[in-house]
Amino acid sequence: MKKILVVVAVLIGLVFTTGAPAFARNVGVVSPKPSPVQKGVKGEAGQNQRTKNQLTEKHRETIRNYWNKMAKRLGMLVKNEKRIAEKMAQRIDKQAAAGKDVTAARVKLEEGKKLIGEAETMLK
């Protein structure tokens, strides 16, 4: 029982810690080399500015796509956590029916469900 609660706690912790470090690593990957516009190669000033704006829009689009993927992944993680919590609730009910003391397990499960709910609202 405690192992399951620990796994849920670890997975919930992953929800809150995976976003920022991954984003920080991937921002530098978007465009590590200076573009021809940044080097000042060829073209008029207006053309360079347009190209620079296009590159900036490309960067924005790349970052948007990355965060959309992350939101989708985190949404699936929350969905899986809910499913696991429901299975745990069923197991706790079976133990209660067998006459075991499950008050501590139910308290921990409710705490976990509350955290899962908070994670879900953060994603929306």
Alpha carbon separation from 90 to 1, 44, 117 (Å, rounded): 12, 69, 19
Burial class (CB in 10 A: 0-12, 13-18, 19+), 112: buried
Give the long-range contacts of residues 119-123, CB within 8 A, separation 24 or more. Answer: 119/12, 119/15, 119/16, 119/74, 119/78, 119/81, 120/78, 123/71, 123/74, 123/75, 123/78
What letter would DSSP give residue 44?
A: -
CA-CA distance, 80 to 97, in Å (whole number)? Answer: 26
Spell out the per-residue pLDDT of the chain, length 124, in tens: 455 555 555 556 655 554 444 444 444 444 445 555 555 555 556 667 777 777 788 888 999 999 999 999 999 999 999 999 999 999 999 999 999 999 999 999 999 999 999 999 988 8
Place of tokens 């499960």: 109
pLDDT tens string 97-109: 999 999 999 999 9
pTM given for the model = 0.52
